[in-house]
Structures are given as C-alpha cells and as structure tokens.
C-alpha cells in the first residue's frame, strides 16, 4: 500500500501544522458584538476539486467544494437539516415564514430579523429579496441571464414587496401557479446594494463573470457567522481560512478559525492527513478499505450515513424487449435488491436498506415503501411475465422475443467500483430468469444529444447512475413526467403525470408528499425506472473536537460549523 506523507500530501503542510498547533490555545477574545471569538482551529480536508469561482449561481461556481465552503457564508431564511427538511433560521428571520392561499394566489410572508446585516454592516431588507428574485427569475437571453444554473420557483413569482416595513417581505406567486418548495428560495439571499448594477444586462454580466476564487468576495455579499477575506485565500496551497464575521449579530463560532484544505480524493491521503493531524475532519467518497483504515485510528470518530443520492436503473423503452412493461417488470422481479444491498452499500453499514421510493428517501418524513411487490426476488413470476410477452427460451438459457434475445447492455460511468459491483451482482441474479446483462462503461453517458449513446440522446438500453433527492420534491418531477427534460426513459403515464402536477402545485409539505407517494406508486406499475439504494456518506473527525455531525443532504459537512469546538 502506497502511503502519502508529510508535504507530499499538502502543498501547504507547514502552514496547516501551525494552524493545528493553535487548537490547544485556551485564549479567547471578543468581537465587536461582544461575543466570544472562540478558540482553536479546525482544518477540514476537502476531497473535491478546488473551486474556480465563488459565485454559486453559475456553472463555474457550482461544485460540491463551493457549496461546502459557502454553507455558512451565504445564508437565507431556511436551512436544510440532517432530517432532509427545511428549518427556519432564527438569526435570519423572526418566527416561521408563512404560506397561504388568497384568491387562488399563494402568498408567502417573511419577517426579517431586524438585527440582520451584511458583512459590511448594511441592513438586510426587502430590497435584497426583491433583487434575488429579479436576478434569478429568468434565463432568457433577452430578459434574463442565460448563465444561471436554474430559475425554478423564481419564475413563478409575480411580485416581491415590502409589508408594513422593510423588514417584512411579501412574496406573491402567479395566480393558479403556486410553488410547493417555496422554502428552498432566497437561500442564498443576494445583496442588492452590492450586486444590483441597474439593469438586467449589467446584472447578468456581473453574475456571469462571478467572483474569481483568487479575488474572493466583494465586501457586503456574505451574511453568515463566518467571513472569508481575500488575504485568507491561498490558491497555491489550495486553502481557505474562515474567520469570524465581526458584523454577525448572532452567536459567534466557537472556533477561532476554520480552514478548508483541498487534499483530494486519494484514500491513503485522507487517512494520512487525519493520522498526522494535518486535518481534523474529512468527508471523502466511501470506500471499504478507507473505512477500515479510518476505524483503525483510535483518535478518530467515523460515521456512515445514507443521504439523498441514490442509485437506480433507467429502462429505455425504445429498446426492443424493454418496450414491453412485462419485460421491465420481469427484470425488476429477477433482481434480489436485498441481496444487492448486502453485496454493495451493506458492506459499509447495517443501516443500508432497499430504497422503495423514487421521490422520498428512507430517512425522510413521509417516506413510504411503494415497491413492496419487488422487495423479494421472484424468478418464477419473472419467467411467467416474459413468456406472456412472447418469450421463447433460446441458446444459453436466454429468452428471445420475436427473435431478439433479452440481452441488454447496462450503460454507466467509468472507473466506479460501487457501480461495477452493482452491475455484476444484478447480472448474476437475472441470469436465473433467462435475462443477460453486461456492463458498458461510457465516458459520454452524461453528454449532450450529439453523443449517440448518451442519456440525453436516448441511445442506451439500460443505464445505472445516481439521482439526488432532497426536501425540494418538485425539482425531480421532470425525471418522471411524460416528455420531462430529465426523463431519459421515454416513458410516460397520464395518471402519474396528474399526481406529479399535484406535487408541483401543492401549497403544503404534507400535500406535496402525499402527491409524490401517489405518483411513485403508479410508477412502480410502469417500471420505467427502478430505485435500488441510497448511497453512503463517510464523515471522519478527530476526537478532540465536539459539535460535529453529519448532514448527508445538500447542506454539506460544514452545515453547523459555527458549533464546532475544541474539547476543554
């Protein structure tokens, strides 16, 4: 086993060692708001690529690394909790924002915390909400900004105005077009007094350019408990050092500093930085050898959880054989998903389980296992379905329909051991039902329509890849809607479409989840896609720190970093 040590691990290893030494200091000071400035430094070893840009609205700034870094720099009225739910942030709003219907129009009211300010001391007001809406409501090149990653929800808003004062925000959605995931909007909240350049064109040019990583953030655009000064960005060493935002009105972080150090994804490196105290926390992609080696470190706590990313199969219904729902159902029945879990993610944790829903995760409120008919392998029924579809047993024990063998390629990403194991396992399972599956790694699986075998071009037979769930259920409707932009199967069902429409127009969380479950129940009959299991997350940290807890949603491992502390 090759082990990376010392300066081979981190370009800035010496600087990091100095920072770690500071953890033992018991000295504290106070900030301008009278709060303790904390003590000690925690170094977080980031496994993803160092970001090119810090603006989260555009592709150049859209990475896991940026999201992890900015989760407590750019705040809004709601935070995502480990329970895969939205929770109002009391430092940003007073009380719980409300959503109600008035004359067929959804009206959402926010009460901004009157103490809330940007990092330059300018108060957060209704103008910031209005600018955030205007900046993100359109990707139309003529009226909006094509560089935006998405406009969903913002494009359904009719107006954003002040209520009784500029700390009351009233958001009205278009009549008859409510947005069920309204809690996902205005996070991040954008700073009007800095970012509003006076016209749509000027605003778009500013957003498109973004904030180059080496230059940092302009003053006045962050509003969380941490700040990131340009002088605390070290591009050659690939480190960010977060310090206290002196203008923050809430409780100050318990640490004096938080360092993001980009160490890469090599498993040996991740173990070594913890072992050598070059980092105190890591959040790498789980691998069995990595987990085993981390658990061998007596001074380290290791946690495995299951988040919102899940593996599934897509069936291209334009493929001969797969066009018949009975064949798709037969493949699902021939797969022993419980045994598949044990052979794959079950190796990481006994918390691993079969996923029986396409829209809600097993650890999410409202989850229902709608796929109980496919929980157990049933080879006899699978064969009956194939024979009913005209299947004739052929050479090598493989069925054929109209002369075409039920032999399919499963397209997937390259160099992914978990997916290799998944496909090998299900291929072995379905052989007993007279079906042959072979793995087909494809570098162009996520390419555009010019790549003939890509998902977008519908040029595959079966595909194994991941979707991401979460509290914003409506964002995944297009995966399953007839003609949906992310519906790569080509399948559609009017009944499911009706429930999905209800899901995307609900005005309460309970109604949204009820519609999601109704849609998913119908989709089990159609079998255009087959959910398999949620993917594991791996958090490991030095035991000298407290307050660290995994959040396996999109919020990232630093979701509550202001609560990290050195044990006294």
Residue 261: which of 552, 558, 566 has the closest Cα?
A: 558
Q: What is the mean pLDDT of each run of 10 residues along the chain (568 residues)?
A: 27 36 40 63 95 93 90 96 95 96 95 98 98 96 92 95 94 95 96 96 96 96 97 96 97 97 94 96 94 95 95 97 98 98 96 97 96 97 98 94 96 94 98 98 94 95 96 94 95 97 92 97 98 97 97 93 95
Residue 465: which of 297, 314, 242, 258 has the closest Cα?
A: 314
Residue 539 β-bridge partners = 303
Measured between alpha carbons, how far apart are the two ends of the chain, in Å? 37
Whole-number pLDDT of residue 399: 98
Residue 537 β-bridge partners = 305
Q: Say which residue the tokens 């929800």 belong to.
A: 153
Residues 6+ apart with CB under 8 A from 479: 358, 467, 486, 487, 529
Whole-number pLDDT of residue 62: 85
Whole-number pLDDT of residue 133: 98
Rounded Cα distance, 390 and 321, in Å: 10
**Residues 314 and 489 sit within 8 Å (Cβ to Cβ):** yes
pLDDT per residue as tens digits for the range 217-243: 999 999 999 999 999 999 999 999 999
User: Hey, is 225 helix, strand or coil?
Assistant: coil
pLDDT per residue as tens digits for the range 450-491: 999 999 999 999 999 999 999 999 999 999 999 999 999 999
Task: Tell me the CA distances in angstroms from 35 to 2, 28, 130, 344, 403, one per residue in order.
Answer: 46, 10, 31, 47, 76
Rounded Cα distance, 474 and 188, in Å: 19
Q: Say which residue the tokens 């500029």 belong to.
A: 166
Whole-number pLDDT of residue 249: 97
**Residues 57 and 149 sit within 8 Å (Cβ to Cβ):** yes
What is the separation of C-alpha 184 from the centre of its chain, rounded to a whole number of angstroms? 13
Q: Enter the DSSP assignment of 251.
A: P
Whole-number pLDDT of residue 459: 94
3-state secondary structure 120-155: CCCECCHHHHHHHHHHHCCCCCCCCCCCECCCCCHH
DSSP string, 46-60: E-SPPPSB--TTBGG
**Residues 507 and 481 sit within 8 Å (Cβ to Cβ):** no
Phi then psi for residue 65, to 5 deg, are -60, -45
Q: Which residues of 235-258 are buried (b: 16+ CB within 10 A; e: fewer)?
A: eebbbbbbbbbebbbbebbbbbbb
- List helix spans (H) across 261-360: 267-275, 288-295, 325-334, 337-343
User: Hey, is 451 helix, strand or coil?
Assistant: coil
Rounded Cα distance, 562 and 256, in Å: 10
Whole-number pLDDT of residue 28: 46
Whole-number pLDDT of residue 36: 53
Residue 350: which of 287, 416, 306, 300 has the closest Cα?
A: 306
Residue 294's CB: how many other CB atoms inside 10 A?
A: 22
Residue 349: which of 284, 304, 292 has the closest Cα?
A: 304
Rounded Cα distance, 552 and 470, in Å: 10
Residue 107 β-bridge partners = 100, 172
Whole-number pLDDT of residue 166: 86
Element (H, E) at 392: strand 392-393
Q: Say which residue the tokens 């809600």 belong to.
A: 360
Residue 222: which of 98, 56, 349 has the closest Cα?
A: 56
Whole-number pLDDT of residue 547: 97
């Amino acid at each position: 086993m090759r082990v990376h040590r010392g300066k081979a691990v981190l370009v800035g290893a010496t600087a990091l060692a100095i920072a770690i030494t500071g953890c033992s200091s018991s000295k504290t000071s106070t900030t301008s708001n009278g709060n303790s400035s904390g003590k000690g430094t925690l170094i977080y070893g980031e496994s993803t690529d160092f970001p090119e840009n810090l603006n989260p609205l555009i592709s150049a700034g859209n990475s896991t690394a940026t999201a992890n870094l900015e989760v407590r720099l750019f705040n809004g009225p709601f935070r995502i909790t480990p329970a895969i739910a939205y929770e109002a942030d009391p430092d940003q709003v007073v009380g719980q924002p409300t959503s109600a219907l008035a004359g067929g129009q959804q009206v959402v009211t926010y009460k901004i915390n009157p103490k809330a300010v940007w990092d330059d001391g300018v108060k957060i007001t209704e103008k910031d909400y209005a600018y955030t809406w205007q900046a993100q409501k359109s990707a139309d090149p003529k009226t909006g900004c094509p560089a935006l990653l998405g406009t969903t929800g913002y494009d359904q808003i009719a107006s954003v105005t002040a209520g009784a004062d500029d700390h009351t925000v009233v958001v009205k959605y278009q009549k008859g077009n409510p947005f069920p995931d309204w809690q996902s909007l205005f996070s991040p909240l954008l700073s009007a007094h800095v970012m509003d350049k006076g016209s749509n064109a000027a605003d778009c040019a500013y957003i498109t350019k973004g904030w180059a990583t080496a230059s940092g953030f302009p003053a006045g655009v962050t509003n969380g408990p941490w700040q990131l000064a340009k002088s605390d960005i070290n591009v050659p060493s690939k480190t960010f050092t977060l310090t206290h935002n002196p203008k923050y009105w809430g409780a100050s972080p318990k640490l004096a500093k938080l360092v993001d150090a980009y160490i890469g994804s090599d498993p040996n490196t991740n173990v070594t930085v913890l072992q050598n105290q070059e980092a105190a926390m890591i959040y790498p992609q789980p691998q069995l050898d990595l987990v085993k080696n981390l658990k061998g470190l007596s001074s380290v706590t290791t946690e495995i959880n299951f988040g919102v990313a899940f593996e599934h199969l897509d069936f291209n219904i334009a493929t001969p054989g797969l066009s018949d729902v009975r064949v798709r159902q037969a493949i699902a029945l021939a797969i022993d998903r419980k045994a598949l879990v044990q052979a794959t993610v079950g190796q990481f944790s006994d918390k691993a389980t079969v996923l029986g829903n396409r829209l809600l995760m097993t650890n999410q409120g409202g989850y229902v296992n709608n796929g109980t008919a496919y929980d157990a392998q049933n080879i006899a029924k699978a064969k009956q379905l194939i024979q009913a579809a005209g299947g004739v047993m052929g050479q090598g024990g493989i069925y054929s329909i109209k002369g075409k063998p039920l032999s399919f390629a499963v397209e997937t990403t390259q160099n992914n051991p978990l997916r290799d194991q998944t496909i090998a396992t299900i291929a072995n399972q379905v052989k007993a039902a007279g079906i042959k599956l072979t793995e087909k790694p494809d570098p162009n699986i996520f390419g555009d329509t010019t790549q003939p075998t890509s998902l977008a071009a519908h040029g595959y037979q079966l595909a194994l890849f991941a979707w991401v769930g979460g509290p914003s259920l409506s964002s995944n409707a297009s995966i399953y809607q007839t003609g949906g932009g992310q519906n790569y199967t080509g399948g559609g069902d009017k009944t499911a479409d009706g429930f999905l429409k209800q899901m995307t127009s609900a005005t309460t969380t309970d109604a949204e989840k009820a519609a999601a479950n109704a849609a998913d129940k119908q989709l089990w009959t159609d079998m255009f896609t087959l959910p398999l299991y949620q993917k594991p997350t791996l958090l490991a940290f030095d035991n000298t720190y407290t307050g660290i807890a995994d959040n396996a949603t999109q919020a990232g491992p630093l979701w509550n970093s202001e609560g990290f502390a050195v044990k006294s």
